[in-house]
Structure 1
């Protein structure tokens, strides 16, 4: 193995311990850890996989109270999009009236 090492010059990985000059850790955690800001508030992060887990998280999300303004805004947006779709496909409303 010594001959192969001399030819290919493959050695062990070297560790480098970097300590920032002005970083002072007072229990705030690792500043280099990449974690989204609002993960602790999201219910969809680290959810169990499978149909049963997805169904349980969906039911839990339905049970939680949401913002009333958000629900109204979402229904208005959905209604507008449905009306635009019906206009594009040239939907005739007269089929619902008796002649």
Structure 2
């Protein structure tokens, strides 16, 4: 696919852009799934500790602003890492 696009005269960024978008999208969705799994596990563990009267060891984070800031930061990092992975892998094949 990359070789055909190069043969037809496509620029490097024209070739990289679809792969970059795909990598960013995969990173975003991967982060979203992992955050959901960790969040669910965290609140289940916090509820179990509260029932066992060990709640003073772990106070669950309930501040919506803090949760949204953490979620936004994780989504941004996942998107950037997915894009960087795509750029690194495409760069290898563009050198051919």
Same fold (TM over 0.5): no
**Higher Rg:** 1
Tell which has more relative contact order, 1 or 2 (C-alpha 8 A, sep 6+): 2
Relative to the length of structure 2, the TM-score reads: 0.29
Relative to the length of structure 1, the TM-score reads: 0.28
